[in-house]
Structures are given as C-alpha cells and as structure tokens.
Chain A
C-alpha cells in the first residue's frame, strides 16, 4: 500500500507540473487541445492524490505499522474515529491532506467553469497546479507520508491522548481546508492579472470560494479555542500562541477582503488593494501551514534548521514578489473607476475597516515572529507576550465593532445629515441605556463598559436596519411580518447572512470581554470533607476514586457544588494515566450556564488524600460558542447559491 501511495504522489507531481505548463502554453499560443489536455491532467492529479490519500487511510485502518506515520500516531486500541484523525496528526500526513484538498478544489473549479471563463481558467488552473506541485515536492523529497520504518514494530506509539477529543476531529481539517480554500481566490486573482481580464468575471468566480475559506478558517479557529478550553485545562481558550496566531491572521485578512470586494463590485474601486489582500491572505495561509507544522518560531535557527523552512520561505518569497510585480505591471488597468465622495459614507467605513484589519494583522505578525526579528537585527531573542497582543488588538477590535454598527446606518456614496440623525437615534439610545444600567449594576471597568455599550449599539443598529427593511416589505407587499422577514433574508443572502455573522462577532466579543475582565481563579488544597468558596459557589470535596480500564487508570475526584446554600449538583474532574503514553490527561469538570462557567481542574494529591484543585469562574464563555453557531449559520446563508448568480 505504501508503494501505491508513494508512486501516486510521484505521478501526481509529473501530472501537476505538466498541467501547470500546458495550461499557460496552450492559452498563450492558442492551442485549445493543449488546454484541454492540461485540464484532463488537472483532473488526473485529483484522482492520483485521492488514491494516495486512500492508501494512507487504508494503512491506518489496517494498522500497517511499517509505515512511520501509522506507527507514530496510532495503536491498535485507538478508537476508529481517532485512528482516522491520525491522518493529519503528523507533519507528512497534514501536508498530504493539504495537497489532497487542493487537488479536489482544483478539480471542482475546473468542473464548475466548464465552458466558462475560457481566458481565466487556464491561468488559474496553472497557479493551482504549481501550488499543488510545491506540496508534492515537499512530500516526495522531504517528509514522505509513506516513509517505511526499518523494522515493523508490533504496536504503534498511539495518539497523544490530548488529541483524543471531538474537537480534534474537526478543528485541524476545518483550519487546513480554510488555508487551502484561499488558494482558489489567489489563483483567480493571478489569472486575472496574467490574462489581462481584470473585469468583474474573476471577482464573481471567487466570491463563494473566498467566503467558504473564510468560514472554514473562522470555525477552525473557534473549534481550536474550544478544544484548548475543555482539554488543556489552564482555564482559557486563547493564549496568542504562534500556532493560534497563524490561524487568526489569514482569517483577518480574508475578512478585510470580503468587505473590500463589495466595494469593488459596487463601485469599481480598491482594485489594487484587493489584489494585495488576496495575495497576503494566501501567503499567510502558507505561513500558517508552515508554523503549525514546525512548532514555536523561537529563533531564526529553527526556521533554517527545519528542512522545510527554506522551501516554505522560498515559496512565500516567489508568491510575494511575483504577484507584486504583476500588480505593478498592470497598475494602469487597475485604476479606480470612482473616487470616494465623502468621509461619511459606507465606502470610507469599509476602507477604515480594511485598514484596521490589516493593521492588526501586521501587528500580530510582528509579535509572532518578533523573537526571530530581534535575533536577526540585534542578536538577542526577545519575545512579546499576551499583554502585547491584548493591548494592540483590544482597542482596534472595539473600533471595528463600532464600524460594524455605523455601516448599516449610513448610505453609500454620501450620507445626508437628516437621515443620519434619524438612524442613529435608537441605537445610540440603546447603547446609553445599556451603559448606564451596567454602570449602576456594578460594572466599573471602563473597557468592559465601553465594549458592552458598543455591542448593544451595534446589535440595535443591525436590528433597526433589518426592521426597516421588513416594515417596508410589509407595507409594499402586504406580507405578514414573518414572511417579510424571511423574504428579505432570502432575497439578499449575502447582506443578511453578513448581518448574522456580525451578530456572531458581537456574541464572541461579549464573551471575550466578560471572561477576560471578570474571571476568578483560585488554587486550593483540600482534604476530603473540606470546602472552598469562590464567588457565590461553595465546593465540598467528597473524596476520590480510582478505576482501572483496559487502556488507562482513571482518578476521579467528586465535589458537591452549592450555589449559595442551594445544592446544584456534583462535579467530577478527572485525571487519566494512559498505559501506552507517558503523559497524564486532565479532564476538566465544567458546569456551563449562559451567565458563567464553573471550571474545576484536578491538580494532584498526596498519600494522605489532600488534593489540589484549580477552580475558575469564567463569565460569558458560552457566548463565544454560541457566536460560533451564529457564524456558521450566517456564513452558510451568505454562501448559499443565489439563482441570480448562476446564470
């Protein structure tokens, strides 16, 4: 099986290189046959890489421990679903997953555009196949997913037990699919430049791809955050780790692009800027793939020591330089068709949103690679921590939320003063009331106060605008309100899907602000029968039990939990010791309500039974996960095909 997989990869490399060249030559010299053959070759790559992927799946399922990536990440007692998730547990496997998805996406693009975009598709196909070839080269020459061990071990090492969590089944593929998805918009942007067809065709072709990639990245990040929260047991969900930043940065740039693309479609402006954004998003997704796979970027040395480092750096350099040269070369054709009419207009609000998103992405990038930069410049490694990221991004995120509220209230081109006053009065009123109520309710942290008021401003602005639309429809068509509401939503899916996404962001922001400013944390050592209190909760330690299962030793501590004097249940934080893996796994006990989470971690214990716990009260965390649900819903609505678009 390993040989079939490896040979498929070799053949796929040949086919992808041929396809990349034949597309360009065929379209330049006007040989339709050559273009058709390149297209067939592209479809072949999809088949070959799928074959390789299936070979790895087969090897995983049959416990073929001769293959390194099977022996290192699985064992016979691993449940089936985690055996499959071991596909992307290792470096080589996740590169194969990348290449597989890209080959499938490329095939879908080729099918979708059958008989359409005759000028664009060959170039786009060529770019996608060149990227595919890059990943195939990495696998063939550097980290072969089908690498054989010299001797076949009787049993594999098993998956790291921390990865045996539902989140880990969905988080990596979602994030990787998001990274890969950004290749398609990039390929079409470059195709537009190379073919000189810089009209609206390419923008229309990629809108849904960009949206899909953005949605997958967003969900991938949230799933990762949730995994960290329930599995890692330090009480938080985001720590500005380089790996987390690597997933966030392309998402931020893709967000900027989704907004500025609207301006290009409606007003013919920001064309160069959009090209740059797509290129940045793609490059950041390549960077993210590298960072996720290579570990902490603690030093320039780790970058060059890792065999893949120079390859990735080179590829990113080629992408960056190549696309900048192309953009410069076509700058005349990329001139704006319009100028901004006024500061107070939706265009300038979108522009501001873009600047802020790209600004924080840059700040996060600098923070992430700062150890490497400072070492190269001054010879000392200096790292920046969480406070840096919080201080930079916090105020910018607040400004972005404010813009989110202002946007629906002001018109395109130039807003009229009277309209402005009429639209702003309700949202501003709501924000003021919420601010005052929270202040009287004891919220004195000015940042939280501002953030919560802003969120209520935005939500009422969105609802106000939505309500205006529904009322107009109700009056004109005499539909009832529900029908008018649904008709409006379905009639303009990108817009109202976008509003739902904005509501999702508000929920997430509220959760983040609440849990950052009002978190409580205590570490205690309790003997059985002793109690501790945190906020309004009292926890009584009842004792611990031990249980031996086939694969692990489970220690369970039982605590009775009281809210005030009312008994609300028991909580059982656990610790697992796996036989096959030299590492304990802490299972957090979590009691989640809309208002706050009670989060209990079992630390350790002594022979006499004294046990240490870490207990946290995290307010509003469940709002973040609710926001994730809204993000998915809104993204899906915006993504849903529109009859008008199909044509």
Chain B
C-alpha cells in the first residue's frame, strides 16, 4: 500500500509538472479571439495587445502592393469593417469573400497590423452557396 502511494505521488508530481508547463506556455501565447465588431467596440482598450480576429474579406477591398509586398484589405462581419495591413507572402487560400483569421494588433492609426493570416484548411471549404 505504501508503495502504491509512492507511485501515486510520483504520478501527481508529473501531472503537476505538465500543468505548470502548460501554465507558462499559456502566459506567453494567450490571445484574445474576437470578431470584427468586438474589435471596433473595444477600440483603444486592446491597442498593443496581440489578438486574433475572425471575419470575412470584403469583396473589392483587396489591394496588393506587389513591389513592397504589402496587402491591404477590409475585414468585415455582419455589422462592421476593419482595415487590415499585412506584409508578407499571401496564403493561396486568401481571396475576397472568404473567411480568414488575422493575428496581430490594432495600432494607433486605427489599422490592424497583421503578422499572420490564417486561412482554413482547404479540405473544409465548401463552395459558395
């Protein structure tokens, strides 16, 4: 019985260690996951914070500056729109009127500077109805 207890304690210690690792990792990488409207409502309160925003690429808003590799577009939901600026290689699955998630932060100029554009795994795309 004593031996069993020792093993139990060993197990708990290991699980606590994993939990601690999780906690540390969480501190470093937690981001708010918001919709476009929520970003607009929060406004300056989330300035400087790393957030993810889920929305739809507004048709006709995509402007790509090939020379400097800068992509500008407007991310929309049912109510509001958010200007996004992204520098880098544009993922293939990015296109007007598709759902994307942008990760980055809202700068003081009111424009969302994205470090990454996450598109959905293409196997999950259903064609537009």
Q: Using CB atoms and an 8 Å cutoff, list the residues of chain A in contact with chain B.
A: 72, 89-91, 157, 160, 162-163, 168, 172, 232-234, 241, 243, 292-296, 298-299, 339-340, 343, 348, 351-352, 355-356, 359-360, 362-363, 366-367, 371, 380-392, 395-396, 523, 525, 582-586, 601, 603-606, 610, 612, 614
User: Contact partner of A525 among B18, B29, B68, B88, CB < 8 A?
Assistant: B68
CA distance A300 to B25 in the complex (A): 23
Residues of A within 8 A of B32 (CB): 380-383
Contact digits for B32-47, partner A, Cβ 8 Å, 1 yes 0 no: 1110000000000000
Known: A234-B91, A381-B32. A243 touches B121 (CB 8 A): yes
Tell me what chain B mostly uses at the interface: helix, strand, loop, or mixed.
mixed
User: Contact partner of A363 among B4, B11, B22, B103, CB < 8 A?
Assistant: B22
A89 touches B123 (CB 8 A): yes
Closest partner residue, chain B, to A339 (CB atom):
B3
Residues of B within 8 A of A603 (CB): 66, 69, 89-90
A392 touches B33 (CB 8 A): no
Residues of A within 8 A of B29 (CB): 384-388, 391
Query: Contacts A339-B4, A355-B11, A603-B69 given; 11 further ones with Cβ under 8 A?
Result: A91-B126, A160-B122, A243-B124, A356-B14, A359-B18, A363-B21, A388-B25, A392-B25, A395-B21, A525-B68, A585-B92
Minimum Cβ distance to chain B for residue A590 (Å): 15
CA distance A132 to B24 in the complex (A): 42
B120 touches A296 (CB 8 A): yes
CA distance A392 to B24 in the complex (A): 8
A525 touches B7 (CB 8 A): no
User: Contact partner of B89 among A160, A233, A385, CB < 8 A?
Assistant: A233
User: Contact partner of B69 among A162, A380, A523, CB < 8 A?
Assistant: A523
Minimum Cβ distance to chain B for residue A17 (Å): 30
B24 touches A525 (CB 8 A): no
B7 touches A340 (CB 8 A): yes
A391 touches B25 (CB 8 A): yes
Interface centre among B19, B26, B90 (most CB of A within 10 A): B26
Minimum Cβ distance to chain B for residue A333 (Å): 19
Residues of A within 8 A of B90 (CB): 603-604
Closest partner residue, chain B, to A382 (CB atom):
B30
Closest partner residue, chain B, to A172 (CB atom):
B123
In the complex, whether B61 has a CB less than 8 A from a CB of chain A is: no
CA distance A492 to B30 in the complex (A): 47
The list of the 8 closest CB pairs from A to B, nearest first, reads A391-B25, A381-B33, A387-B29, A359-B18, A388-B25, A388-B29, A162-B122, A383-B33
B89 touches A355 (CB 8 A): no
Interface residues of B in 87-127 (CB under 8 A from A): 88-93, 95, 101, 103, 120-127
Residues of A within 8 A of B121 (CB): 241, 243, 295
Residues of B within 8 A of A387 (CB): 25, 28-29
Known: A384-B29, A391-B24. A583 touches B93 (CB 8 A): yes
A163 touches B122 (CB 8 A): yes
Minimum Cβ distance to chain A for residue B41 (Å): 12
B30 touches A586 (CB 8 A): no
A612 touches B69 (CB 8 A): yes
Minimum Cβ distance to chain B for residue A384 (Å): 5
Known: A243-B121, A392-B18, A604-B69. A298 touches B89 (CB 8 A): no
Contact digits for B59-72, partner A, Cβ 8 Å, 1 yes 0 no: 00000101111000
Minimum Cβ distance to chain A for residue B20 (Å): 10
User: Contact partner of B30 among A232, A296, A384, A386, CB < 8 A?
Assistant: A384
In the complex, whether B52 has a CB less than 8 A from a CB of chain A is: yes
A296 touches B101 (CB 8 A): yes
CA distance A386 to B118 in the complex (A): 13
CA distance A604 to B31 in the complex (A): 31
User: Contact partner of B21 among A72, A391, A601, A606, CB < 8 A?
Assistant: A391
Residues of A within 8 A of B31 (CB): 382-385
A583 touches B95 (CB 8 A): yes
B11 touches A298 (CB 8 A): no
A610 touches B7 (CB 8 A): no
A363 touches B28 (CB 8 A): no
A162 touches B93 (CB 8 A): yes
CA distance A90 to B127 in the complex (A): 10
B66 touches A601 (CB 8 A): no
CA distance A363 to B18 in the complex (A): 8
A355 touches B14 (CB 8 A): yes
Residues of B within 8 A of A172 (CB): 123
A392 touches B120 (CB 8 A): no
Residues of A within 8 A of B3 (CB): 339-340
A583 touches B92 (CB 8 A): yes
Known: A606-B66, A606-B67. A163 touches B123 (CB 8 A): yes
Closest partner residue, chain B, to A157 (CB atom):
B127
Minimum Cβ distance to chain A for residue B127 (Å): 5
A391 touches B28 (CB 8 A): yes
CA distance A474 to B52 in the complex (A): 62
Interface residues of B in 50-87 (CB under 8 A from A): 52, 54, 64, 66-69
CA distance A157 to B125 in the complex (A): 12
CA distance A366 to B21 in the complex (A): 13
B24 touches A359 (CB 8 A): no
Residues of B within 8 A of A162 (CB): 92-93, 122
Minimum Cβ distance to chain B for residue A632 (Å): 23
CA distance A395 to B25 in the complex (A): 12
Residues of A within 8 A of B7 (CB): 340, 348, 351
A388 touches B66 (CB 8 A): no
CA distance A322 to B118 in the complex (A): 38
Closest partner residue, chain B, to A160 (CB atom):
B122
B18 touches A610 (CB 8 A): no
B66 touches A389 (CB 8 A): no
Interface centre among A343, A388, A584 (most CB of B within 10 A): A388
Minimum Cβ distance to chain B for residue A451 (Å): 16
A582 touches B95 (CB 8 A): yes
B33 touches A396 (CB 8 A): no
Residues of A within 8 A of B22 (CB): 363, 366-367, 388, 392
CA distance A234 to B69 in the complex (A): 15
Interface centre among A163, A386, A392, A586 (most CB of B within 10 A): A392
